[in-house]
């Protein structure tokens, strides 16, 4: 008799029959019935109606039956909380069972039942199980604490389970240690500020000992935890590395990758002159290569990680090119990733082999792969100058195949080659022009148009070619339209006599008949330039272009550093920080590599940029190929990338130089009369993502903006939790008054009215200074923006954390509650500047134990910029000194409740890490003041 029959019962009245069977006296029949119930549950049928009957079967000495009933309970307890109580008794009894397997089973299952009343009863048994004599029960109980924390964090803290869990790190059994580490790491993620894991050299030593003894999974938990530790100096880092390296020989790839993560992170702290550094580099390559003989899915994970490692430390795998050669029957996702890494590793030494391979790939079947291979040939040409000639001839061969997508890709890359090596390969233009008709993809069309415009003087019929595109101007994509506009203007500047008509045609098409603001604006700028000063126009439009960099698709350095800290995890597979794909606050703590802190020698500035690409050059990168796989994953919002904005924005070819130059004069000339559509204000809202937004950023950075830094609005209350009302907001302080800028969105289907707001008592007495005024009813899908003025005279109660604000919002539907953290700098008052004498006296007066030190990392500003930026947020520089090449800023600020905070900020030129010492009579605010510094300086 087989169990598969349970999947086939689909008759009517089934539930009724099952009920009868469940209540049968015969044990066997009962068990059969429960099996049927579980089978129905699996395929998605609702069998919750059988709840009481199934729970009745729970009291049994048949373990198999018991487990089935537990499985049912875990699924349906939430829907029937009152009935679930019936099970509590059995659970509590089972927790006392002499058999450790049953005790563990009970506590494991109880933790999975998310019903408040059950959790209450869980506490006592759990406490006992955490101290059980049997390690199997303890390791199960350790995980159960994490479960309970997920249901009710407060309860776990109140009951003191966290301390018991911490004690388990010193348990004699390695598996208990591993599970305790896993549980603590998870809990710590939701309390980023708390020092829950409390890693110190002693506890690290314990973990390293357990590492040798526990299961493969336990080793992963421990290694992942180790990776979040920052050793105090290079010696400690080295000794941990030494004890982690044996893991590189583990059969489990995840153990290997987690070990690689620890090593990559701690290597950052080691001096490059150290012998050990070289040894470590050599040890890393073989295990990474071995990962490529794993199953394809793991290969994929490994390759995505190797892609990061190669960018961070190219020296590790520079001799291993061959292992990345594509095998004929690799799955497509492995092929594409290998290709990516091949391009990164290509160098003069191996270019011949690589090219031979790429040529081979370009004849394969898979379209995406072939395209990428063709692009790769172009990348090689740009990267390795010696190979450029061979690459170009290979590309021409490929164009001769006349395979449509191959031709288009080839043209796109040849455009880049032209830019990299001007006046060298233009002889092939004629061949390219032959293929004009077959181009149907925007990118290829745009590339071809760029080539025609750029080399208009060498192409006799350039005007005819461009004119042919003009006929269907409005059907083209924006990319092509913009390129066409620029190309024709170039042509006009080169051959003004015969193309006047053409240029007028395109300008009017762009400015009068287009709805696209980008296109319109560019049209107006050209028009204005051409009509006022043709010489200037020539200088701007035909200016020498910046060289393009050798590397493309490089991950922006700070993001790369963050991703290195996430080796092995999903973030490293997506190449996105966890905040881009993880909901809520869980696991979105920003991680960064440790700075190098040598124990003996002088401190060197940590390396952030990968070799050969200092951040400045980033600006010149032409972002060509979109990562094909990346696009697949782009279902989410793009990651909030910090750093030079140009490097990540999609710069159109030629847009930077043109608009950059064009707008400078535009802003510089106040009496300039804007063309009809008023270009300037329109730009502010236009999603240009190019030179324009940067220009405006610059002006605001100089200090025209009064008032302190304002964080972007964050969602405070998701629509799901508030019956369709979504609230996002931020806090501002402008000209001495604080306000809460709210954005209310109605995502429900009914109209919302009667809004009101109230705050709970809080640390600084924040309260609304006026009622919440929503003038009209909020209809579905509508959004309103409201600025709610706040005062600080409300009643005061210390909150935890200090800057927590609990808010209640009412509307005609219900009352909703949420809490948010306000940045402390909104409380910094305008008269917070202390005079020098006073500062000195106060500094001395405040006891030293009130002093708190913080490090502000990765802040590229110099002392002046820091000072002026802080000042706009009411942090005042009282004095400035230069001590041994370091800039010391002495600063003061005052909070709305009259508390003074004094600060000493130490800035070393060239080192992006600042030291901040804070002194205050109420030391609990220091942490938050530090955070305010962070936000102000980093945004």
Six token digits for residue 87:
């099970």
Least spacing, CB of residue 111 vs another protein, in Å: 7
Answer for which of 22, 137, 169, 659 binds another protein (CB under 8 A) is: 137
Q: DSSP code of 475?
A: G
Q: Which of 453, 523, 578, 691 binds another protein (CB under 8 A)?
A: 578
The least CB distance from residue 616 to another protein, in Å, is 32
Question: Structure tokens of 534?
Answer: 């043709």
Is residue 830 involved in binding another protein (CB under 8 A)? no
Is 881 near another protein (CB under 8 A)? no
| Nearest distance, CB of residue 815 and another protein, angstroms | 25
**In the structure encoding, which two tokens stand for residue 687, read together?**
């999603």
Question: Between 126 and 609, whose beta carbon lies closer to another protein?
Answer: 126
Judged by CB, which is closer to another protein: 719, or 915?
Answer: 719
Q: How far is the CB of 236 from another protein (least distance, A)?
A: 19
Contact map string, positions 68 to 97, toward another protein, x by CB under 8 A? x-xx---x----------------------
Smallest distance, Å, CB 398 to another protein? Answer: 11
Nearer to another protein, 34 or 863 (CB): 34
CA-wise closest residue to 919 among 859, 844, 867: 844
**DSSP code for 774:** -
Tell me the closest approach of the beta carbon of residue 131 to another protein, in angstroms.
15
**Cβ neighbours of residue 796 closer than 8 Å, sequence gap 6 or more:** 761, 762, 763, 764, 765, 897
Least CB distance to another protein at residue 379 (A): 21
**Footprint of another protein on residues 694-733 (CB under 8 A)?**
none
> Which residue matches tokens 């408040």?
116
Burial class (CB in 10 A: 0-12, 13-18, 19+), 282: exposed
Using CB under 8 A as the binding criterion, the count of chain residues that bind another protein stands at 119
In angstroms, rounded to a whole number, what is the distance separating the alpha carbons of residues 235 and 450? 55
- 213 part of the interface to another protein, by CB under 8 A: yes
| Residues 98-117 interacting with another protein (rule: CB under 8 A) | 98-102, 108, 111-112, 114
Please report which helix (H) or strand (E) contains residue 352, including its range.
helix 351-361
Q: Which of residues 407-466 bind another protein (CB under 8 A)?
A: none
Q: At its nearest, how many Å lie between another protein and the CB of residue 747?
A: 16
Between CA 440 and CA 443 the distance in angstroms is: 9
Residue from the set 17, 29, 136, 743 that interacts with another protein by CB under 8 A: 136
How far apart, in whole angstroms, are the C-alpha atoms of residue 300 and residue 294?
A: 9
Asked if 302 touches another protein (CB under 8 A), the answer is yes
Binding test (CB under 8 A) with another protein, winner from 147, 372, 375, 528: 147
Closest CA to 832 of 933, 902, 914: 902
According to DSSP, the β-strands at 876-883 and 852-856 are unpaired
User: Based on CB atoms, which residue is closest to another protein, 407 or 507?
Assistant: 407
- Quote the CA–CA distance of 332 and 373 in Å, as a whole number: 13
The rounded distance, in Å, linking the Cα atoms of 379 and 723 is 52
User: Is residue 689 helix, strand or coil?
Assistant: coil
In the complex, what is the shortest distance from the CB of residue 146 to another protein, in angstroms, rounded to a whole number?
A: 6
Question: In sequence order, what DSSP letters do the residues of 703-714 get, joined into one string?
Answer: II--S---PPPE
Site for another protein in 219-278 (CB under 8 A): 220-221, 224, 243, 245-247, 249-254, 256-258
As a residue count, the chain comes to: 939
Query: Judged by CB, which is closer to another protein: 224, or 617?
Result: 224
H-helix or E-strand containing 235? helix 234-244
- Site stretch for another protein (CB under 8 A), options 61-69, 528-536, 703-711, 924-932: 61-69
Helix (H, G, I), strand (E, B) or coil at 856: strand
Task: Specify the residue, 143 or 711, whose C-beta has the smaller distance to another protein.
Answer: 143
Strand partners, 726: 745
**Residue 174 found at the interface with another protein (CB under 8 A):** yes
Mark the segment that binds another protein (CB under 8 A) among 42-50, 344-352, 464-472, 763-771.
42-50
Task: State the Cα–Cα distance between residues 715 and 579, nearest whole angstrom.
Answer: 14
Question: DSSP assignment, residue 274?
Answer: S
Here's the x/- map for another protein, 6-25, by CB under 8 A: it reads as xx------------------
Largest CA distance in the chain: 103
Interface pick for another protein out of 401, 753, 850, 853 (rule CB under 8 A): 401
Contact 349, 386 (CB under 8 A): no
Q: In terms of CB distance, is 438 or 743 closer to another protein?
A: 438
Cis peptide before 738 (omega within 30 of 0): no
Q: Residue 360 interacts with another protein (CB under 8 A)? A: yes
Q: Using the rule CB under 8 A, is 880 a contact of another protein?
A: no
Pick between residue 167 and residue 213 the one whose CB is nearest to another protein. Answer: 213
d(CA 712, CA 637) in angstroms, rounded, equals 15
How far, in Å, CA of 391 to CA of 380, rounded? 7
Quick check: 403 binds another protein (CB under 8 A)?
Answer: yes
In a 3-state reduction of DSSP, which class is residue 313?
coil
Selected from 161, 526, 566, 900, the binder of another protein by CB under 8 A is 566
Cis-peptide into 813, omega within 30 deg: no
Nearer Cβ to another protein (65/428): 65
Site string for another protein, 317-356 (x = CB under 8 A): -----xx-x-xxx-xxx-------------------x--x
- The one segment of 62-70, 465-473, 731-739, 865-873 that binds another protein by CB under 8 A: 62-70
Residue (39 or 485) nearer to another protein, CB: 39
* Dist. CA 769–CA 794, nearest whole Å: 9
Q: Is 570 in the site for another protein (CB under 8 A)?
A: yes
Torsion angle defined by CA atoms of residues 70, 74, 75 and 76, in that order, rounded to the nearest 10 degrees: 90
Instruction: Name the residue with tokens 């003038």.
Output: 775
Exactly one of 49, 64, 352, 424 binds another protein (CB under 8 A); that residue is 64
Cα–Cα distance for residue pair 646/693, rounded to 1 Å: 10
Residue 590 CB, nearest approach to another protein (Å): 12
User: Within 579-598, which residues bind another protein (CB under 8 A)?
Assistant: 581-583, 586-587
What's the gap between Cα 764 and its chain centre?
33
Give one word for 160, left, alpha or beta, with left for phi > 0 and alpha for psi -120 to 50: left
402 binds another protein (CB under 8 A): yes
The three-class DSSP label of residue 595 is coil
SS3 label, residue 900: strand
Contact 713, 823 (CB under 8 A): no
Can residue 385 be called a binding residue for another protein (CB under 8 A)?
no
815 part of the interface to another protein, by CB under 8 A: no
Residue closer to another protein (CB basis): 62 or 512: 62
User: Minimum distance between the CB of residue 6 and another protein, rounded to whole angstroms?
Assistant: 8
**Collapsed DSSP state (helix, strand, coil) of residue 197:** coil
Nearer to another protein, 272 or 322 (CB): 322
Q: Does 859 bind another protein (CB under 8 A)?
A: no
- Of 31 and 825, nearer to another protein (C-beta) is 31
Instruction: Please say which residue, 254 or 613, places its beta carbon nearer to another protein.
Output: 254
Q: Does 543 bind another protein (CB under 8 A)?
A: no
Closest to another protein by CB, 247 or 825: 247
Binding-site member from 120, 216, 457, 864 for another protein (CB under 8 A): 216
Q: Which is nearer to another protein, 353 or 505 (CB)?
A: 353
- Of 434, 601, 636, 664, the residue at the interface with another protein (CB under 8 A) is 636
Phi then psi for 11, rounded to 5 degrees?
Answer: -80, 165
């Amino acid at each position: 008799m087989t169990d598969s029959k349970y999947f086939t019962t689909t008759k009517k009245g089934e539930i009724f029959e099952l009920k009868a069977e469940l209540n049968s006296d015969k044990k066997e029949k009962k068990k059969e019935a429960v099996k049927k119930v579980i089978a129905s549950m699996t395929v998605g049928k609702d069998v919750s109606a059988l709840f009481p009957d199934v729970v009745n079967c729970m009291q049994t000495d048949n373990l198999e039956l018991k487990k089935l009933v537990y499985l049912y309970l875990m699924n349906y307890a939430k829907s029937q909380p009152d009935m679930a109580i019936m099970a509590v008794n059995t659970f509590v009894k089972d927790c006392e069972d002499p058999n450790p397997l049953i005790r563990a089973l009970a506590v494991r299952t109880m933790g999975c039942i998310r019903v408040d009343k059950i959790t209450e009863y869980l506490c006592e048994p759990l406490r006992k199980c955490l101290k059980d004599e049997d390690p199997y029960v303890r390791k199960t109980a350790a995980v159960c604490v994490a479960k309970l924390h997920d249901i009710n964090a407060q309860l776990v803290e109140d009951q003191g389970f966290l301390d018991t869990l911490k004690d388990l790190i010193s348990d004699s059994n390695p598996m208990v240690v591993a599970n305790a580490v896993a549980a603590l790491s998870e809990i710590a993620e939701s309390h980023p500020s708390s020092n829950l894991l409390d890693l110190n050299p002693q506890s690290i030593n314990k973990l390293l000992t357990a590492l040798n003894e526990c299961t493969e999974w336990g080793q992963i938990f421990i290694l992942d935890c180790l990776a979040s530790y920052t050793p105090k100096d290079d010696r400690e880092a080295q000794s941990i590395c030494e004890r982690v390296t044996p893991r590189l020989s583990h059969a489990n790839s995840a153990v290997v990758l987690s070990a690689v993560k620890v090593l990559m992170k701690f290597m950052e702290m080691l001096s490059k002159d150290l012998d050990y550094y070289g040894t470590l580099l050599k040890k890393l390559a073989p295990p990474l290569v071995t990962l490529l003989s794993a199953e394809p899915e793991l290969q994929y994970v490994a390759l995505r990680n190797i892609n990061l490692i190669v960018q961070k430390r190219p020296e590790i795998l520079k001799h291993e090119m061959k292992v990345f050669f594509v095998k004929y029957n690799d799955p497509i996702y492995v092929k594409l990733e290998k290709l990516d890494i091949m391009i990164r590793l290509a160098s003069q030494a191996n270019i011949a082999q690589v090219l031979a391979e790429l040529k081979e790939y370009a004849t394969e079947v898979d379209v995406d792969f072939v395209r990428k291979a063709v692009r790769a040939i172009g990348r090689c040409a740009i990267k390795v100058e010696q190979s450029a000639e061979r690459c170009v001839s290979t590309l021409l061969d490929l164009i001769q195949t006349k395979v449509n997508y191959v031709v288009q890709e080839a043209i796109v890359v040849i455009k880049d080659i032209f830019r990299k090596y001007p006046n060298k390969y233009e002889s092939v233009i004629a061949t390219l022009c032959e293929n004009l008709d077959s181009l149907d993809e925007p990118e290829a069309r745009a590339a071809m148009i760029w080539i025609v415009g750029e080399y208009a003087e060498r192409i006799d019929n350039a005007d005819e070619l461009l004119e042919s595109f003009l006929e269907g101007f409005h059907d083209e994509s924006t990319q092509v339209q913009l390129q066409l506009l620029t190309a024709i203007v170039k042509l006009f500047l080169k051959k003004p006599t015969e193309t006047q008509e053409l240029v007028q045609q395109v300008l009017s098409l762009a400015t009068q008949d287009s709805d696209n603001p980008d296109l319109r604006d560019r049209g107006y700028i050209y028009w204005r330039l051409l009509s006022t000063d043709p010489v200037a126009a020539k200088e701007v439009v035909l200016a020498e272009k910046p060289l393009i960099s050798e590397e493309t698709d490089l991950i922006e350095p700070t993001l790369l550093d963050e991703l290195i800290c996430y080796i092995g995890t999903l973030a490293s597979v997506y190449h996105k920080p966890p905040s881009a794909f993880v909901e809520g606050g869980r696991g979105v703590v920003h991680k960064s590599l440790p700075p190098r802190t040598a124990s003996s020698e002088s401190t060197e500035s940590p390396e952030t940029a990968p070799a050969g690409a200092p951040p400045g050059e980033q600006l010149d990168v032409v972002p060509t190929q979109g990562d094909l796989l990346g696009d697949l994953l782009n279902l989410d919002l793009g990651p909030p990338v910090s750093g030079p904005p140009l490097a990540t924005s999609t710069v159109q070819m030629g847009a930077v130089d043109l608009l950059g130059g064009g707008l400078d004069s535009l802003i510089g000339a106040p009496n300039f009369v804007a063309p009809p559509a008023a270009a300037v204000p329109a730009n502010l809202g236009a999603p240009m993502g190019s030179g324009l937004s940067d220009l405006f950023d610059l002006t605001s950075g100089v200090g025209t903006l009064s008032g302190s830094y304002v964080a972007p609005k964050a969602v405070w209350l998701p629509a799901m939790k508030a019956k369709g009302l979504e609230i996002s907001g931020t806090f501002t302080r402008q000209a001495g008054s604080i306000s809460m800028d709210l954005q209310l969105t109605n995502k429900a289907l009914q109209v919302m009215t009667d809004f009101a707001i109230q705050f709970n008592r809080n640390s600084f007495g924040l309260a609304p200074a006026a009622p919440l005024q929503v003038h009209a009813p909020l209809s579905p899908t509508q959004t309103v923006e409201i600025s709610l003025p706040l005062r600080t005279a409300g009643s005061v109660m210390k909150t935890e954390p200090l800057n927590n604000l609990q808010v209640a919002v009412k509307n005609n539907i219900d009352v909703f509650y949420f809490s948010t953290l306000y940045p402390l700098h909104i409380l910094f008052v305008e008269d917070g500047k202390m005079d020098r004498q006073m500062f000195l006296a106060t500094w001395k007066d405040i006891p030293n134990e009130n002093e708190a030190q913080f490090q502000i990392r990765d802040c590229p500003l110099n002392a002046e910029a820091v000072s002026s930026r802080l000042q706009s947020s009411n942090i005042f520089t009282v004095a400035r000194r230069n001590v041994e090449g370091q800039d010391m800023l002495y600063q003061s600020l005052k909070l709305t409740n009259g508390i003074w905070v004094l600060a000493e900020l130490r800035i070393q030129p060239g080192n992006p890490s600042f030291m901040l010492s804070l002194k205050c009579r109420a030391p609990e605010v220091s942490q938050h003041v530090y955070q305010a510094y962070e936000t102000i300086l980093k945004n």
